[in-house]
Structure 1
Amino acid sequence: MLYRFSRLALGRLAVFVFPCLIAAPLAAFAADEFSVSAAQMQSLGVQVQRLEKSDDSSGQTYSARVVLAPGQEQVVSAPLAGVIDQLLVAENDAVKAGQPLMRLISPELGELQLKLMEVDSSSRLSQKALQRERQLFSEGIIPERRVQEAEAAAAQDAARKRQAEVALRLAGLDSARIRSLTNGSNVESTVTVRAKAAGMVAELSVKPGQRVQQADMLLRIYNPGKLGLDIQIPSARTVQISGSKGAPIVVLGRSGVLGEALSMSPSVSDNQILTLKAAITKGAEQLRPGEIVQVQVPFAGASEGWSVPLQSVVRQGDKAYVFVRTDKGFVATPVAVLASAGQTMRVTGGLQAGQEIATASVIALKAAWQGKGGSN
C-alpha cells in the first residue's frame, strides 16, 4: 500500500517538476531580462519580427458617405410662374455654363417686357424735357426750379427703367434681348432657363406641361469634380485618430482616391457618433454623391512610434511591454500604446530600428519573465 502511494506521489511530483526543468535555463540576468535559448524558442514556438521605422499612416477604418463639397451644388428655380414647355436635358447629363436647360411659357414675361417698353418710352420723353428746360433756363426764360424738377423726373424714369431691366434679366433674358425690346422688338412669352455653372444634372423635378410657380425648384446641378466625405466615428475612438486639418484620408477599394481631413463636428449625435468632414483631393471621378465607402483615418501621432502586431504587446498591471531579443534571450521593454486598429498597434518607447521583438508565444515568454524575477 505504501509502495503504491509512493508511485502516485512521484507521478504527481513529476507533473510540477518537469516544466520547471524546462524553464530552469531561463535565468534572469537583470530585472527584466531573461535567458531563452534557440532550442527553447523553437520548442515554445516563439517568433520574432524586426522593427522597421516607417512613415506608415495606417489607422482606423470607418464608414463614410460621399457628399458634395460646400458650394458645389446649384438649385435651378423657376424665374416666373408658368408652364414647362420643353425639357432640354435629362438626369445625369453633363452641362456647361450658360447651356439651355428647359423652356418655360409665362404670361408674366410679357408683362415685364411691356413694362420695360413703357418706362423706356417715358425715360426718353423725360430726357428730352430735361434738355429743353436746360435750354430755356440758359436763355433766361424759365427759373432754375423748372430745371431741377425736370432732372428729378428724368432720374426717376431712369431708375424705373433699370429696375425693369433687372427684372427681365432675373427672368432669364440676356442683355442683347433686353436692348432689342427698347428698340421696338416683338414681345416673347417663352423663357429659356440656363445653367449658371458647369456640372451634372442630379435631380429633375418637373415634366413637360407641368405648371410651376415662381421660385419652385426645377432641377439640381452639382460639380462632380469636387466631392467630400462625412466620416462616422464613435466618440470613444476619437482619441486614437488624427482629426487635425490636413490629415491624409485613404478611400479603401478605390485605387488612387485620396482626401484630407477638414474638421471634426463639435457635438456628438444621439448614437454617440462624431462626423469628421474631409475633402476628396484625388480620384473624385471614381465616386458618386450618396454612396457609402470605407476610409482609413490615420492614427494620432502616426508619424511617431512603431507599428507592431497586436499579439506582441503584453500587459502587466497598468503597463504594456514588448519582448526585445537580446544575445542571451529577451528583455521586457515597457512601451506606451498610442493607438490600435484591427491586428495592429502603434507604440512608442525605448525601441530602435533593427531590434527584434517577439510576435508569437508571447504568453510563454511572459510566464518565464514573471517566474524569474520580472515585474509583479
Structure 2
Amino acid sequence: MKLTPATRIKASAAAICLLLTSSGFIFPAVAAENTITISQDYVNNLGIVLGKLKPAKQIPLLTAPAKVVIPPGHEYIVSASQAGLITQLNAALGDTVKKGQVLAQLNSPDLLSMQRLYLKAVSEMQLSDFSYQRDKKLAAEGVIAERRWQETSNLHNTIVSEANEYKQLLEIAGMSNEEINKLTQTRQLSSLLSVHAPISGVVMDRMAATGERMSILAPLYRIANLDELWIEINIPHEHIGQIKVGDQVQIENSPIYAQITLLGQSVNPENQTLLARAMIKDSKGLIKQHVSVRAGESINTQIIQASDKVVFKVPNSAIAQNEGLPYIFIRSQDGFTVSPISVIGKQGDESIISGNLSGNESIAIKGAVALKANWLGLGAE
C-alpha cells in the first residue's frame, strides 16, 4: 500500500508515542487542535528549551550579489614624472605606505637640464633684484625718470616669474621644496629623482621593475586608501521598489555593515538589475581585521531595512512547518499553544516573524519537531 504524507505523519507520531510509552512516559492528550497538554517532566525529557521573543527593529529584505570597489578619490596611480632609469623600488605589493614616503628612485638626465635652467633663472633673478632695488631708490629721490623705473620694474617681474616657473617645473618633476632649497643653496646638480607616495594607503599593484627604463608619466605603482570602500550591489528588478537610500547592508560571513548611499537611475538591460551603491567607513579597522572584504572581491550581501511594525527575532529551530504554513509553540499553563506566524525574513540562523504576539511569551526554541509530532499525531486521532 502506498503511504500518503498524512499517513507517514501519523506513522511517525505513533512511533514516537510507542517509544515514549515503552520508556514509562504517559503520552499527553490534546485539548484542542491548537493546544498541546503536556507535563513539565515530559517537557524536560523531550529536551524542549524555552526562550523569549526578541524584539527586532530591522527586517532583512533580500540577498543579492555585489562587488567591493575602491572609491575613485581613494585610488592613485604613482607615475614617473620624468623619463629615466629605475635605480631603486622601495615598496612591494600589499605594503602599507605613508604619505610622502619614497617609493622609488630614478636616474633622469632630463632632470639635470631642468635644474640647470632653474639655477640660471635664480642667478638672473638675483641680478635683477639688485637693479630693481637700486632704481627704486633712485626713482624715489627723483634722480631717474619714471619711464626708466617702470622698465626696470617690469623686467624684474618678468625674470621673477620665469624663476618661479622653473621652480614649479621642478616640483612637478617630483622634487620637494626641501630638495629645491638645497639645490638653490649648494648649486649642485643631481640626476636622482625620488618618487613619493601621494597618500597613505596600501600598494595594490606594482607596474615596474628595477633597471627598467621608464618614459615620462609611465605608471610605477597603484596605491589605495582602504579606510572607505564601496559595495556595488545588483538589485533584481522585482525588488527595486523595496530598496531605499539609508538601508543597511550586511556582508555575508562578516560583522561588517554598509549603508546604501545611491540608487542607480537606469536598469541593466542584460540582466534587468539596478545598481545600488553602499559605503563602508572603516572607522574601527574592521576591513583590516576580516579577510572577507577585499577590494575587487565578489561577495553576497543581505539588505536590511528599518521596520515600523511589531516584529520579533527567533531561532530557526523554533519554527515548525505544517502544510506550508509556519507555526511556533507558546508555553501555556498546561502545555503549549500552537500559534500561526508570518516569516518576514531570515538572517543567518534566525528568522524575523510577526503574528498575534505581545512579546512577553515564552516559546519553544528547541524541540519544536517533537512538539509538532505530538500536535499532529494526537490531532489526527
Shift of 1:111: 1.8
Matched with 1:278 is 279
* Alpha-carbon spacing, 1:345–1:100, altered in 2? closer, same or farther (3 Å): closer
Is the contact between residue 94 and residue 203 of structure 2 (CA under 8 Å) also seen in structure 1? yes
State whether residues 227 and 289 of structure 1, in contact with CA within 8 Å, keep that contact through their aligned partners in structure 2. no
The one-letter code of the counterpart of 1:156 is T
Match of 2:354 in 1: 348
Q: How does 1:129-148 map to 2 (within 5 A)?
A: 129-148=131-150
Q: Counterpart of 2:155?
A: 153
Alignment of 1:187-336 (within 5 A): 187-224=189-226, 226-230=227-231, 232-235=233-236, 236-237=238-239, 244=246, 247=248, 249=250, 251-252=252-253, 254=254, 257-266=255-264, 267-269=266-268, 270-271=270-271, 272=273, 274-279=275-280, 280=282, 281-286=284-289, 287=291, 288-301=294-307, 304-308=310-314, 309=316, 312=320
Structural mapping, 1:17-166, within 5 Å: 52-55=53-56, 59=60, 60-68=62-70, 71-166=73-168
| Distance in 1 (alpha carbons) for counterparts of 2:175 and 2:94 | 26
- Residue aligned with 1:265, SS: strand
Scaled by the length of structure 2, the TM-score of the pair is 0.68
Task: Count residues in correspondence.
Answer: 333
Deviations 1:68-117 (A, max 9, x none): 35533322111112232332332223323322211112222122112212
Describe the SS at the equivalent of 1:289. coil
CA distance in 1, matches of 2:229, 2:177: 37
Deviation readout 1:236-284 (Å, 9 max, x if unpaired): 3466778625x363551x5xx4233142432443322544423045421
For residues 347 and 100 of structure 2, the distance between their equivalents in structure 1, rounded to whole angstroms, comes to 49
Answer yes or no: is the 8 Å Cα contact 2:34–2:339 preserved in 1: no
In the TM superposition, residue 325 of structure 1 has moved relative to its aligned partner by 7.1
Give the TM-score normalised by the residue count of structure 1. 0.69
Letter in 2 for 1:123: M
Q: 1:348 to 1:70 in 2, by over 3 A?
A: farther
Matches of 2:285 and 2:103 in 1, distance apart?
30
**Greater CA deviation, 336-345 or 181-190?**
336-345
Q: 1:185 to 1:143 in 2, by over 3 A?
A: same
Give 2:96's aligned amino acid.
A
Conserved? CA contact 2:58–2:305, under 8 Å: yes
Shift of 1:56: 7.4
The RMSD of aligned alpha carbons is: 4.4
> Following the alignment from structure 2 to structure 1, what is the Cα–Cα distance between the partners of residues 259 and 215?
41
